[in-house]
Chain A
Amino acid sequence: MPTPRLQVTTARKEFPGVIALDGVSLTLAPGEVLAVVGENGAGKSTLMKIVAGVYQADAGEVLLDGQPIHFAGPGDAVAAGVILIHQELNLAENLTVLDNLFLGREVTTGGGLRVLNRRVMAERAAELLKRVGLPADRISARVESLPPGEKQLVEIARALGTDVRVLIMDEPTSSLTQRETETLYEVIAALKAANVSVLYISHRLAEVKQCADRVVVLRDGRNAGELAKADITHDNLVRLMVGRDLKQFYPKTHKATGDGKPVLTLQNVRYRGGPDIPASFEVRAGEILGMAGLVGAGRTELSEAVFGVRPVTAGEILLNGEPLRVGSPADAIEAGVLLVPEDRRLHGLVLAESVGFNISLPNLAQISSRFGVRRSEEAELHKKWIERLRVKTPSAAQPVGLLSGGNQQKVVYGKWLARGPKVLILDEPTRGVDVGAKAEIYALIDELAGNGVAVWMITSDMEELLGMSDRVVVMHEGRIAGELRGGLTEEAVMRLATGGTAT
């Protein structure tokens, strides 16, 4: 057997209170694409960060081409050709695409003065952008002006510009459109042909099947198993990931008869900064309305207008037939229109604060007297929702930022459910959530709809959309492109989402 490009043996990493990795091993051959799969908290990210020099392992060994390596920081890893493409924080958004492509390894003249050689960099940049399928005019654009998918491609282009030997991609397609994803597959194939090894982390099982040669599954910081290309199936993966079979992934016990009375009605609503075309639709009691569309179709923005984040400039929002004025999120919350936002770390939770703090936050008026918060009542509230939602946390005092994605998301639900929602707006309800917690969240959504809550679910996850929705509204470039009910198919949704018409 030839020397593996990368070999990790019994890596161990402990953080205060958590064993993130407990003796994980893997090998990666030159030119191999290896998918690393596991629930959130299984240790994937920690493993990747050890390989890329962000963390140092407490025990175990990492070999690159047979040589033991000890990276002191990400700079060392980059120099050795081990590049990590993160989900976040890799680009300096105030700089141009060109600047970012060469950040840290500029082409310079003038020795120690390091004067930038723009001409050479521009030539190479054009070549790199071409390889990832981005138009050449993006070179001088500031990164902050790009849509998320293009940012991701810029990061990949940057990695291609180095002498990359091991490329690590953490959920690379989470913000890519279908076409951009296809380009990514081509790039991966080209890298493979150039004998570059790729470690690929993903939650999307279809994607893993598409591009991986082999899958390594992690669970609770240990190796849970491995699948060769031929054995990669949805069921096999899920079984290894959660350690049991998952029946009833998408429960549908609530009865959406379609004749529930409209709870939330939008009539020709426009909002500041939004499209010129007004939006109208309704969400009925006891139904789950799925809202589909490509990234940037304006779904999140519309939900933010209803939640009072973006000022409504025209049209009317009705709640149970009564006009509803939302000047701020406080108005929406008071009326029982609640939002589980897309970016929970930014908009959903105060990350540094405890689980209990976050659950209490929108409910303080109810548990306070004129002498302040009634502590015993607050503790009761925390206990109730942590138990009901089965939040895995040592206590209510645990900082919520230390929980896994799925448990963080449950806390967001907890803070709203305590208020008794009338309308629940879910924006990407299970993004970054592991399979086990996903099933629990689906069951919860189903239960809420069964209790008569009007659920408006915005999602880019096709399986989730088709599995959970009673009715689907599709948006395309800021307008409502159409509505689908009964016999939902991916093709029908995509046709509307890409600008076609319903048949």
Chain B
Amino acid sequence: MTRILGVLGLLVVLYTTLITSHPKAGEPDNLISVANLQGRFGIITLGAALVIIVGGIDLSIGAVVGCSAVLFGVLMNKGVHPFAAVPIVILFGATVGLTNGSLITRLKLQPFLVTLCGMFVFRGFARLLGGTLGQASVIEGHPEYKDPIRTLRHLLIGKDPIDGELIFPAQFILLIVLAGLVGFFLHRTAYGRYWYAIGHSELAAKYAGVNVSRQRVVIYVVCSALAALTGVLLFLDAPSVQSDNAGFSWELYAILGAVLGGCSLRGGEGTAVGMVLGAMVLPVLESLVNFRGDASDVIPVVIGLTLLIGAIVDELIRQRSRIHR
């Protein structure tokens, strides 16, 4: 609970600073575009957080996002209808998760190692599939896909079908729906209990008769499927995607969001509300840096320092509460 209060406080400070930093920063246009980014990062944060709760880590998220975005474009270029391409891409993500999860549970490989390899492999796949793709080039080749693509863009991104203006934060709404689902499973069902138990003490879960391997695999499948969905969103939102940098290092943003939201990297901790709040921090920070007119080069420094300060405060609070227990 105190962990959520911490990130909530951080968000209040960031939003206040953002709105007072520039007259345009507080306008709905900007807030909607920030919310949309929050939604997109939030969705991968949910996956990363679930993996962290069961005591694992997924470093392949960014590469899977990039690979999925490229795959989505390539499928449509090859004549697959956009409505059919979306489930195919998500299925691809699920297969990636199944592979990661199986390697980790059956062969007992370290999650860090398996997903680090995945990061290289899927980035490589993306580059083998194609270079630069965009909605415009797909529509050029298949004019009949123009309407379905725009419908998807309207529904999932919130952009006007005609002029492409961002009119509502659809990605954020999608995040809330998905977070609601994650929260339901995490906090209201037996499965959630298993995930917390596995993350904190795998043996305790095993001795209680929990099928630890199966639960772990399921979590990796969910995480990679969410990354694939995010790849679709990226393709629909961006004018074009480049296979060598689409989603690059997003796994770190996702892990950052999860940790800011109260997931312990030691496993067994974290809430759905915290995940959403944690994922909201980064886009506000980015917008703030942009409006202050700072060079975008400072963004990584700001992100790094914010997390470090957050971690220090968190640890101090924890030590204090331990002493006074």
Chain B, 40-67, contact with A by CB distance < 8 Å: what is the 0/1 string? 0000000000000000000000000000
> Given that A89-B201, A104-B210 are known contacts, is A94 also in contact with B269, CB under 8 Å in the complex?
yes
Are A74 and B197 in touch, CB under 8 angstroms? no
Are B204 and A90 in touch, CB under 8 angstroms? yes
Please tell me if A79 contacts chain B, counting CB pairs below 8 Å: yes
Are B209 and A78 in touch, CB under 8 angstroms? yes
> Given that A89-B203, A92-B205 are known contacts, is A114 also in contact with B190, CB under 8 Å in the complex?
yes
A113 and B191 alpha carbons, distance in the complex (Å): 9
Interface size on A, residues (CB 8 A): 28
Contacts of A115 in B (CB 8 A): 188-189
Please tell me if B325 contacts chain A, counting CB pairs below 8 Å: yes
Are A74 and B209 in touch, CB under 8 angstroms? yes
Chain A CB within 10 Å, residue with most, of B193, B203, B210 = B193
Please tell me if A295 contacts chain B, counting CB pairs below 8 Å: no
Contacts of B205 in A (CB 8 A): 92, 103-104
A103 and B189 alpha carbons, distance in the complex (Å): 11
> Given that A89-B201, A92-B268 are known contacts, is A103 also in contact with B208, CB under 8 Å in the complex?
yes
Q: Of B189, B200, B203, B209, which one neighbours A114 at CB under 8 angstroms? A: B189
A332-377: which residues lie under 8 A (CB-CB) from chain B? none
A99 and B208 alpha carbons, distance in the complex (Å): 11
Are A89 and B204 in touch, CB under 8 angstroms? yes
What is the distance, in angstroms, from A27's C-beta to the closest C-beta of chain B? Answer: 26
Chain B, 182-218, contact with A by CB distance < 8 Å: what is the 0/1 string? 0000001111011011011101111111110000000
What is the distance, in angstroms, from A55's C-beta to the closest C-beta of chain B? Answer: 13
Contacts of A116 in B (CB 8 A): 188-190, 193
Chain A CB within 10 Å, residue with most, of B210, B269, B325 = B210
Contacts of A73 in B (CB 8 A): 206
Please tell me if A91 contacts chain B, counting CB pairs below 8 Å: yes
Are B208 and A94 in touch, CB under 8 angstroms? no
Please tell me if A108 contacts chain B, counting CB pairs below 8 Å: yes
Are A95 and B193 in touch, CB under 8 angstroms? yes
Are A106 and B190 in touch, CB under 8 angstroms? yes
Contacts of A90 in B (CB 8 A): 204, 207-208
Are A92 and B196 in touch, CB under 8 angstroms? yes
Are A75 and B211 in touch, CB under 8 angstroms? yes
A95 and B204 alpha carbons, distance in the complex (Å): 11
Contacts of A113 in B (CB 8 A): 189
Contacts of B208 in A (CB 8 A): 78, 90, 92, 103-105
* Closest residue of B by beta carbon distance from A158: B208
Are A103 and B188 in touch, CB under 8 angstroms? no
Contacts of A104 in B (CB 8 A): 194, 205, 208-210
Please tell me if A86 contacts chain B, counting CB pairs below 8 Å: yes
Q: What 7 pairs between A and B have smallest CB-CB spacing?
A: A104-B208, A75-B209, A92-B197, A106-B190, A104-B209, A94-B200, A103-B208
List 18 A–B pairs whose Cβ atoms lie within 8 Å, in order of A's numbering: A74-B207, A75-B210, A84-B207, A86-B207, A90-B204, A91-B204, A92-B197, A92-B204, A92-B268, A94-B200, A95-B193, A95-B196, A99-B196, A103-B194, A105-B209, A114-B190, A114-B191, A115-B188
Q: Supply 16 further A-B pairs (C-beta < 8 A) apart from A93-B204, A103-B204, A104-B209.
A: A78-B209, A89-B203, A90-B204, A90-B208, A93-B201, A94-B196, A94-B200, A94-B201, A95-B200, A103-B193, A103-B208, A104-B208, A110-B189, A114-B189, A114-B191, A273-B322
